[in-house]
């Protein structure tokens, strides 16, 4: 027993020393952490361009759509399992709309970012300071990117704190390319140096090459995505047409019919997910939050 207490004290001390090496300091900012589902959804809402739409509002609209379609489907069709299936589709529709719009706007911005970087390079060459070079994008930059940089200019005129304004600009953009650009400018502002122009030109060339390669691959693989969507929509379109005749779908009102619908929905969802994973290129992740 006498040797147990010193050993226990030594073990606790060693654990505390090890723990102190991993616990972040108070106030330390977390950079590069992986985003959770809520953060990813919030980024997609921002990227979709729906100003004023929050995550709670979006999820609430999903619930409202589910309830309304469930009540309407049960009243019209009279078969609860079928009504639940169509209500689940309606409930997922707002999320699909936001993600589809966000994906399209990311593709548009992917082609516009090189032009924006070139504008910054030109402004720096003309002798502008970094805040001025960013602010002028609100008037001279690509149309899709003007609003966030216009807000940055207003924010910087009010506060004068460049680093804090960059943080708010990152949140307004919620874009992986924007994160890389902002962090590059932050380092150039804090460290200084004469290689900013070279760094931005390298970034612009990399972005152009990446956009060109991705566009070619998406064109070649678009048939896989379209085939997946058609394969998913076909059986449910047939079920919707069958639902116009109540006597044709009464078999689904039993427990066995409900099980058939549940298995069909599960198989459809898994097959669609697999085909989309095969046919879609991976998206850039925001690792520089």
Please report whether residue 1 resides in a domain. Answer: no
Q: Which helix (H) or strand (E) holds 184?
A: helix 176-191
**pLDDT tier at 163 (50, 70, 90 boundaries)?**
confident
Please report whether residue 202 resides in a domain. Answer: yes
Q: Which residue has the higher pLDDT, 86 or 38?
A: 86
| Mean pLDDT value across residues 226-241 | 84
pLDDT of residue 193: 57
Residues near 174 by beta carbon (within 8 Å), at least 6 away in sequence? 42, 43, 46, 47, 286
Please report whether residue 159 resides in a domain. Answer: yes
Please report whether residue 30 resides in a domain. Answer: no
Q: What is the domain extent for residue 200?
A: 38-279
pLDDT digits (tens, 9 = 90+) for 248-265: 788 888 888 889 889 988
pLDDT of residue 87: 92
Token reading at 59: 């999820």
pLDDT of residue 28: 40
Has residue 23 got a pLDDT over 60?
no
Please report whether residue 104 resides in a domain. Answer: yes
Please report whether residue 16 resides in a domain. Answer: no
Please report whether residue 96 resides in a domain. Answer: yes
Count of domains in the chain? 1
Burial class (CB in 10 A: 0-12, 13-18, 19+), 275: middle
pLDDT of residue 9: 54
pLDDT of residue 90: 92
CA nearest neighbour of 156 among 183, 129, 180, 188: 129
End-to-end CA distance of the chain: 51
CB 163 within 8 Å of CB 146: no
pLDDT digits (tens, 9 = 90+) for 74-132: 888 888 888 899 999 999 999 989 988 888 888 888 888 888 888 888 888 888 888 88
pLDDT of residue 49: 79
Average pLDDT, the chain: 79
Share of the chain above pLDDT 70, in %: 83
Distance in angstroms (rounded) separating the CA atoms of residues 34 and 43:
13
| Mean pLDDT value across residues 47-58 | 82
pLDDT digits (tens, 9 = 90+) for 177-232: 888 888 888 887 777 656 777 878 888 888 888 888 887 777 777 777 777 788 88
pLDDT of residue 175: 83
CB 260 within 8 Å of CB 252: yes
Has residue 157 got a pLDDT over 50?
yes
Q: Which residue has the higher pLDDT, 156 or 4?
A: 156
| Mean pLDDT value across residues 159-188 | 84
Q: Which residue has the higher pLDDT, 288 or 116?
A: 116
pLDDT of residue 64: 93
Please report whether residue 289 resides in a domain. Answer: no
């Amino acid at each position: 027993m006498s040797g147990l207490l010193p050993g226990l004290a030594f073990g606790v001390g060693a654990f505390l020393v090890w723990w102190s090496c991993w616990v972040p300091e108070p106030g330390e900012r977390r950079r590069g952490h992986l985003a959770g589902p809520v953060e990813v959804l919030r980024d997609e809402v921002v990227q979709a361009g729906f100003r004023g739409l929050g995550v709670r509002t979006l999820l609430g609209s999903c619930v409202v759509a589910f309830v309304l379609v469930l009540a309407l489907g049960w009243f019209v069709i009279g078969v609860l399992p079928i009504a639940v299936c169509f209500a689940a589709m309606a409930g997922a529709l707002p999320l699909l709309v936001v993600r589809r719009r966000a994906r399209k706007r990311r593709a548009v911005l992917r082609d516009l970012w090189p032009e924006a970087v070139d504008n910054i390079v030109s402004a720096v060459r003309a002798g502008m300071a970094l805040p001025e070079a960013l602010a002028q994008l609100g008037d001279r930059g690509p149309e899709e990117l003007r609003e966030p940089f216009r807000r940055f200019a207003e924010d910087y005129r009010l506060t004068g704190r460049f680093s804090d304004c960059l943080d708010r600009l990152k949140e307004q953009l919620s874009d992986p390319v924007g994160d890389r650009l902002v962090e590059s400018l932050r380092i150039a502002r804090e460290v200084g140096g004469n290689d900013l122009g070279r760094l931005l030109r390298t970034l612009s060339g990399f972005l152009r090459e990446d956009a060109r390669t991705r566009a070619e691959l998406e064109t070649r693989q678009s048939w896989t995505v379209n085939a997946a969507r058609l394969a998913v929509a076909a059986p449910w379109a047939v079920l919707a047409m069958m639902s116009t005749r109540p006597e044709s779908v009464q078999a689904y009102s039993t427990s066995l019919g409900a099980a058939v619908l549940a298995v069909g929905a599960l198989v459809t969802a898994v097959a669609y997910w697999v085909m989309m994973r095969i046919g879609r290129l991976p998206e850039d992740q925001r690792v520089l939050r």
